[in-house]
Amino acid sequence: MLDAVYDFFVRLKSGTEYLTYGRPVLRGWMTGHVASLPPGRIPKILDIGCGQGEDLAQLRAGLQRDCEMHGIENYEPYRKSCENKGIQTHALDIERDVLPFSNAALDAVLINQVLEHTKELFFIFSEISRVLPPGGLLAVGVPNLAAWHDRLLILIGRQPSGMKVLGPHVRGFTLQGFRAFAECDGFFKLVECKGSAFFPFPAAVSKLLAVLFPTLATAIFFKLIRTEKPGTFMEVLRSRRFETNYYQGAAA
């Protein structure tokens, strides 16, 4: 019986999955940040896990100034699609390889629907903290482990849909958990949180509910600012002992 109900709601949300990417939210944050930068130079933006470049392409369409667009993507057909959109792409392992930029070289970093696939959050955030200057923007989008429908699933003893054992997601995020991680030791400041999608409701209702109840939405988005604290986020890991073998970089 429960399986039949679950399958019904899965079918009900069909066609609204695109809302989980939260592109209007990310575009608003990015365009606002770029507009605030001093004139006379070309801002540099990086999308980690850029796919076919949809996020950067939509961002470029809404900007009032030229920007240098970069993307990290390992799948060659997607890289070609990005290059066709004028996005400079780089193929590397974000959990092991340093980002191909000098310190404080970027103005903004976007990482959307990627972190849930990774283990090495400390290394990833360390590299982001290195390439962003004080005041630089980091925009993050992840599935919300505390989404209202996942709370119901856990209540009845089911695996939450945003973090299946038989699936690609190895991490789960909530507002409280992400804030505790990202703001640890003061390298980043979380300044805004928004939601997008509200399964299994129709698109119009889904959008409204996500605005009213962002911490219950299907996907959750975080706007962070790089603080003036020197060093990198790796210091958070090196000052603590966790019972797992986190990667600390080649020089560690």
pLDDT tens for residues 119-135?
A: 999 999 999 999 999 99
pLDDT band at 1 (very low <50, low <70, confident <90, very high): low
Q: Are 25 and 32 in contact (CB under 8 A)?
A: no
Residues of the chain with pLDDT > 90, as a percent, come to: 85
Mean pLDDT computed over 153-158: 92
pLDDT at 87 over 60: yes
Higher pLDDT, residue 10 or 144: 144
pLDDT 10s digits, 174-225: 999 999 999 999 999 999 999 999 999 999 999 999 999 999 999 999 999 9
Model-level pTM? 0.93
Q: How far apart are CA 14 and CA 20, in angstroms?
A: 12
Phi, psi dihedrals of residue 149, rounded to the nearest 5°: -70, -30
- Measure the CA–CA gap between 115 and 122, rounded to whole angstroms: 11
Q: Which residue has the tokens 């996005």?
A: 87
Per-domain boundaries in the chain:
2-227
Contact 145, 117 (CB under 8 A): no
Least confident of 93-97, 98-102, 163-167: 163-167
**Residue 252: count of CB within 10 angstroms of its CB:** 10
pLDDT of 93 > 70? The answer is yes
Per the CB < 8 A criterion, the answer to whether 171 and 118 are in contact is yes
Superfamily of domain 2-227: Vaccinia Virus protein VP39 (3.40.50.150)
Work out the pLDDT band at 6, boundaries 50, 70, 90: low
pLDDT tens per residue across span 45-65: 999 999 999 999 989 988 878
**Residue 163: closest CA among 176, 181, 151:** 151
For residues 120 and 142, what is the distance between their CA atoms, to the nearest angstrom? Answer: 15
Two tokens, residue 182:
């990202």
With cut-offs at 50, 70 and 90, classify the pLDDT of residue 143: very high
Average pLDDT, the chain: 93
Q: Distance between CA atoms of 26 and 111, rounded to whole angstroms?
A: 10
